[in-house]
Amino acid sequence: MEQGDNSLRKGPWLEEEDEQLARLVNVFGERKWDSIARISGLRRSGKSCRMRWLNYLRPNLKRGCISPEEEQIIIQLHDRWGNKWSRIARSLPGRTDNEIKNYWRTHLSKKNTQLQEEGNFQCNSNASHNPEQDFPYQTGNPSSSCNLAYCDIVQNGSAMTGADQYDLWSLVESPYETRLYDHWMSEISCGEQEEAKFGGGCNYGWNYSEVGESCMMDSLWDMS
DNA sequence: AAACAGGTCAACCGCCAGGAG
DNA sequence: TCTCCTGGCGGTTGACCTGTT
């Protein structure tokens, strides 16, 4: 792992490196990764720093098992968007693209292939988003405490009008999806109570109806 | 207990797009 | 307009873990 004096370090990160990186990101923000890498003296590339922060150190990361509800979302969004892991990750607050990508490869792609071979699974990218149709092998519980905003949208979609469903899909695909995601993250991260829920597994302290689309979008427009 | 196989996941690599000069 | 740099993204690798023989 250790190479020449001028070479960049590779391999697993040490605790001291994590602490140093976190300090610098808190000062400079999540940008200028090359500068952060240089200033830190970590002998890591900017890319490596960015990767470490986004996939491991970032606050509000939701570690632990992917819940059945999250799995449904991943399957549905993968069906819709393909291997657009970062895009899918934005719809799952607290999950990273790397995590979702790994989960897909190790769990879902196999399952998907198997079911397709058995002929009882239909990939239906343009169809209506009926969970029972799209996920014949998954029966998530809509009343589960693991509901996320998106989960509500997917699972309770039948209770919404077609127009409402269209608006929500447009929302996620809009140019402002990143800000939307950031906003969701800040919603989640405010307050220790939410953090406690967050750290406890898969229990977010809010859902779509609690956030409220109009006020959420208003504040999004204010972010610049 | 040891060897092996398969699964998991953190980390790296290469490509590409966008912005700055 | 062109070139260079930075950062984002998806694919891939390899170390580690766990289960099985």
Of A202, A213, A211, nearest to A144 by C-alpha is A202
A110: the nucleotide nearest its CA (via C1') is: B7
User: Which among A5, A16, A21, A104 is positioned nearest to A55, based on CA atoms?
Assistant: A21
When pLDDT is averaged across residues A125-138 and rounded to a whole number, the result is: 34
Cβ partners under 8 Å of residue A180, min gap 6: A90, A171, A172, A174, A216, A220
Q: Which residues touch strand C (CB under 7 A)?
A: A 30-35, 46-47, 50, 83-87, 97-98, 101-102, 105
The fraction of chain A above a pLDDT of 70, given in percent, is 45
Nearest nucleotide, CA A11 to C1': B11
User: How much is the pLDDT for A114?
Assistant: 60
Q: Which one-letter amino acid corresponds to residue A2?
A: E
Domain edges within chain A:
15-57, 68-222
SS (H, E, C) A72-113: HHHHHHHHHHCCCHHHHHHCCCCCCHHHHHHHHHHHHHHHHH
**A97, A86 Cβ separation under 8 angstroms:** yes
For strand B, the positions having any atom within 7 A of a protein Cβ are 7-14
Per-residue pLDDT tens digits for A162-214: 333 333 333 333 333 333 444 443 433 333 333 333 333 333 323 333 233 33
Residue A10's nearest CA partner among A59, A52, A38, A40 is A52
CA A46 to chain centre: 22
**pLDDT score of A27:** 84
Percent of chain A with pLDDT over 90: 0
Average pLDDT over residues A27-51: 86
Residue A139 neighbours by CB under 8 Å, 6+ apart: A132
Architecture of the domain spanning A15-57: Orthogonal Bundle (1.10)
